[in-house]
Structure 1
């Protein structure tokens, strides 16, 4: 609200009216802080936004030139300018998606004081304030989902973000034709999915959007198959049930300081998506051996299988690489736990392969084992599994500290040992780095002696 007075002065010169609308008003009524200010104005939108941008020395962004939608960014504040749709702000509000987003505040009714500001009056043609107070998501009219099927996902996203409930009649309308989502641009669906995954209630709402509306299976047909397979020696439940429960367990783990402080917040929605589809490879690896069902190699195959799905959903190349890696290696940490004669070298190879994603992979492994063992009455193993994963992370951190600086370079090896440049140099460096990681060598001279032993073998 810092620069609202500037906008009011500009509008006065244009003899126009402006309104705070949408998410900003909703958040204001919920006493939630918001850095996104949504404005609807009934005069030249581009000119007003441009002039405001120049006055506050902000950054001007064209969001949709055709529909006159513009953004001004000032530090961490975002001001979005849109035209009033229709002949009045009331008509504009009556054409919005949900009543909680159909409340407006006329800029002319804001009373600014030394202590801040007071809102004198609100424009609320759909009783949105009452729904906000009661925590209810209600469609403005019966056409909202036909007009824009993305609102099916938006309704559930608001439910997840605000912890609201969707009103029963709105649920009925949402169930009429979920296949409408197939016509939506995948970029828009991607953004809504990420927002749902970014909430602390993603598992609950992923279950809701699929169980009630079949939105995920209409988007990713493999979901229906995941509901039909997975039972084996280790699982009484299907893959979909197991995976959703794993997302729930992951969210619970992220409530703990230990995990929360070790995971990049930007990676959390991607990690949840990887968790939801970590066993996707079971669709193509199921086989019966000696009367038992197995899914050998499902981690490796799942990492391949997920890529076209991620591309279809417009994930970035960086996100695709991350999700594939998490799925590919999600079995490795507890394979180390169950391995006979586990060595430091075996752990180091895991660290080298997974690199900076060790904690992320271990967190998925923790959620995976919690889901498997809680759903299959094998709780006695959980404590040791989780303790091993934390010890593995501790050892990885120690390795990272030991190997932060290389003890020598390939040029050192060439010069000291008169070895020609080639693959042998890389192999020697690899062995030296492994020895350094294990703490067998700690300085330049020890590295030289270690190489002498390698060469003389």
Structure 2
């Protein structure tokens, strides 16, 4: 980045225009973290500076409503140029969160910069104390997103929160209703991106009292859930399941190596933009039982039942997804996880890990199989641990691990057979009419490979087809 700073300094001096570095890059530099996203305030013509800079590094600029961006994918570089129309101190004071309200003249940027930093709200002191602080509660009226932004910064930096800030947020929690839902969703996903999401969800619930404002569905979850198998309400159970899910995800030696590696690759999959499957897994873990309030019934014996809660829950998670502007792909992933999360428990309770059951399950759970198995394991352990803390939990892990192994090593291999045989091969070899549903024949082949009836090679497949066609 040294060359970038040298270039910006030269432009600032040549044009006699102040360029200020602010925000996350400066904050991260001060705490020893590296980032390549940079926000610059230009006390003058921002477009002129942005175009001059972009020309010198041979990159086009992206013009937006109030700023200009230079993005270099190869160098993982993103610089935003914003025109500063007021005094720098006034601008920083209006940012609200102190550690985000720092700036430095680009010409003064060096390895030892603390003396040169512009700090009107005491952000430097808060960085040293690892503390998130909103310095003026009145600013929340203009920028209520700061309420949730403060928590996402806590989770990202592993900071605590100032007691006065906790009171300010509690007193202004109703302002969350004024936040754009997409903007709110972005901050929630930033919390889910980091470890200990369960802790910050709990913090937003107990300390800040804002979780119900973000997710109104939580209110009813707190009122139901206790039954023969659950000794706590649905909300408490779900928060515990989220904790267990994160514990498993981040515990390096929990699963056998090949299963762990499959999970790591799967969880890191980028779904849309900066959202990964990891965040969706965590969100689904928290809302896996969100359908219980609407599914609650009392049978003739007076027992509380929640039959079909996975179906009603899937519809609710779809509504949550739409509310936060998630993509269709993300909605489908969340819907399938919640809708199918009971499959592994059914398998365990019936002691059925037959190839017939597993194949049916994997066909229905699709690409979300590993997600569902992980959440189901956390669900089972979370339920049993509260019922009987001394019960051996390893048996549940072994059961789920067996299913995961079958999915990774057998099912996935059986599904893509285009390198061995195609529909055209079958039509030609057996002189079948084109209207024959070859897709059904291919499905029978895949099923036979999974069940071990035939080998995954063309000769074995052809012999099998001669017997069934």
Q: TM-score range by the shorter chain?
A: over 0.9
Name 1:261's counterpart in structure 2. Answer: 264
Superposed, 1:317-332 pairs within 5 Å as 317-332=328-343
- Asked whether 1:52 is paired with 2:64, we answer no
Q: CA deviation at 1:375?
A: 2.4
Distance 1:298 1:59, change over 3 A: farther
Query: What stretches of structure 1 of length at least 5 have no aligned partner?
Result: 112-116
Name 1:70's counterpart in structure 2. Answer: 68
Distance 1:182 1:284, change over 3 A: same
Name 2:84's counterpart in structure 1. Answer: 84
- SS of match in other structure, 1:32: coil
Paired residue for 1:187, among 156, 168, 182?
A: 182
Q: CA deviation at 1:12?
A: 2.0
- Range with bigger deviation, 257-266 or 193-202: 257-266
Name 2:408's counterpart in structure 1. Answer: 397
Aligned 8 A contact 2:192 2:283 in 1: yes
- SS of match in other structure, 1:270: helix
Paired residue for 2:205, among 205, 210, 213?
A: 210
Superposed, 1:15-414 pairs within 5 Å as 15-63=16-64, 65=65, 67=66, 69-74=67-72, 75-86=75-86, 88-111=87-110, 117-119=111-113, 121-257=116-252, 258=255, 259=260, 261-265=264-268, 266-289=276-299, 290-377=301-388, 380-399=391-410, 400-406=412-418, 407-414=420-427
Aligned 8 A contact 1:96 1:102 in 2: yes
Aligned 8 A contact 1:22 1:101 in 2: yes
1:190-241 CA distances to partner (integer Å, 9 max, x unpaired)? 1101001111021111111122333232233221000000011110111111
Q: CA RMSD in A?
A: 2.0
- Range with bigger deviation, 285-294 or 417-426: 417-426
Aligned 8 A contact 2:140 2:172 in 1: no
1:278-314 CA distances to partner (integer Å, 9 max, x unpaired)? 1112122111222211111211221122212210111
Q: CA deviation at 1:79?
A: 1.2
Distance 1:199 1:341, change over 3 A: closer
- SS of match in other structure, 2:396: helix
Q: What TM-score, normalized by structure 2, do the two folds share?
A: 0.90
Q: CA deviation at 1:381?
A: 4.8
Name 2:271's counterpart in structure 1. Answer: none
Distance 1:246 1:62, change over 3 A: farther
- SS of match in other structure, 1:380: coil
Aligned 8 A contact 1:281 1:302 in 2: yes
Name 1:453's counterpart in structure 2. Answer: 467
Instruction: Provide the C-alpha distance between the structure 2 equivalents of 1:21 and 1:143, rounded to a whole number of angstroms.
Output: 22
Distance 1:423 1:324, change over 3 A: farther
Aligned residues: 446
Instruction: Provide the C-alpha distance between the structure 1 equivalents of 2:32 and 2:463, rounded to a whole number of angstroms.
Output: 66
Q: CA deviation at 1:332?
A: 0.9
Query: What stretches of structure 2 of length at least 5 have no aligned partner?
Result: 269-275
